Amino acid sequence: MSSHSETGKFHYHEPGLQHQFEDMGQQEESVSIGMWMFLVQEIMFFGGLFTAYLVFRSKYPMAFAAGSNHLDAFWGGLNTLVLIVSSLTMALTVYYAQKSNRNMQVIMILLTMAFGATFLGVKTIEYRDKFNHGLVPVQGWNKRIKAETNAEHETKPCWEVDHNAPAIEHPNPRGEFQWTDCSLVKKAQDEGYLTNAEKIGYFSNGEIDANKFRDKVRIFYYLYFVMTGLHALHMIVGLALMTWLLIVAWRGSFSEDYYMPVEMSGLYWHFVDIVWIFLFPLLYLLGRHFMHGG
């Protein structure tokens, strides 16, 4: 590529070189620094949420374990696998851009987008399940279930939940956050390993207070929805970025001489994947050894 200068001479410009940079080296360094600065502020952003999680979990471990045990580890594990594979396809996209292989670039971008869409589809399934079972921590945002006269559908005392019995839809006419499983607290109380904060936070007059324990579990679900929701939002942004990358790659714009946008998009995608690698064990696995009060 060339341009006409004021002196009438033509000067060669490397593919992708923007006018504000002297050469590709300067442009790549500037873009790289900019992306890493963006990722650092993203780390600080998510770091605040992780800190809040750790503070409340250390204060109310049984409530967080109970909430975690009601998440579906299968779906969380599947999404982890999906994102790990998507990181591979994203890395291959960069590789094929460096090799000037347009067709493989397009294929790898499409695969990356397919894995990203799969991830969001699984999260939709999980969110719908929480909606149906009254686990969305905002009042009125859960499935509304009319009260039944049948005693079988009446809400049982918090610690009498039978995990071997079929799930029962408890009346929830106002779509409130519901929690009926206090089995972990009862076991912890019997074995004497509740923390002082938990003794204050879960009990009233020496008895398990279902409402107080429910409110502590609600904190877990607030953090769950905020952390996974923001992560899903980043995934949506990543898919939008992949859409633009696909269009430009289809036009054959990326080659061994110019592939910086692909590499920077890859950094963003890998960052989103890494965040999930931390979210999965913190939300789905820690406390799994207390499953059903075991």
SS (H, E, C) the chain: CEEECCCCCEEECCCCCCCCCCCHHHHHHHHHHHHHHHHHHHHHHHHHHHHHHHHHHHHCHHHHHHHHHCCCHHHHHHHHHHHHHHHHHHHHHHHHHHCCCHHHHHHHHHHHHHHHHHHHHHHHHHHHHHHHCCCCCCCCCCCCECCCCCHHHCCCCHHHCCCCCCCCCCCECCCCCCCCCCHHHHHHHHHCCCCHHHHHHHEECCEECHHHHHHHHHHHHHHHHHHHHHHHHHHHHHHHHHHHHHHHHHCCCCECCECHHHHHHHHHHHHHHHHHHHHHHHHHHCCHHHHHHC
Distance from the first to the final alpha carbon of the chain? 69
Q: What is the pLDDT of residues 170-222, one digit of tens each?
A: 777 788 888 888 777 877 777 777 888 888 888 888 788 888 888 999 999 99
Give the HSE-up count for residue 180: Cα atoms under 13 Å, Cβ half-sphere: 18
Whole-angstrom Cα distance, residue 287 to residue 58? 12
- Residue 277's region, left for phi above 0, alpha for psi from -120 to 50, else beta, is alpha
- The pLDDT confidence band at residue 10, using thresholds 50, 70 and 90, is very low
φ and ψ at residue 172, rounded to 5 degrees? -150, 65
Q: Which fold has domain 39-293?
A: Four Helix Bundle (Hemerythrin (Met), subunit A) (1.20.120)
User: Residue 214 to residues 41, 68, 159, 208, 264: CA-CA distances in angstroms?
Assistant: 34, 13, 12, 11, 44
Residue 198, pLDDT score: 84
For the chain, give the percent of residues with pLDDT over 70: 80
Q: Which residues contact 6 (CB under 8 A, 6 or more apart)?
A: none
Supply the pTM of this predicted model: 0.83
Question: How would you label 164-191 residue by residue, b for 16+ Cβ within 10 Å and e otherwise?
Answer: eeeeeebebeebbbbbbbbbbbbbbbee
Q: What is the pLDDT of residues 103-159, one digit of tens each?
A: 999 999 999 999 999 999 999 999 999 998 889 999 888 888 887 654 444 555 565
Contact assessment for residue 156 and residue 183, using Cβ atoms and an 8 Å cutoff? no
Average pLDDT, stretch 57-80? 92
Residue 294, pLDDT score: 44
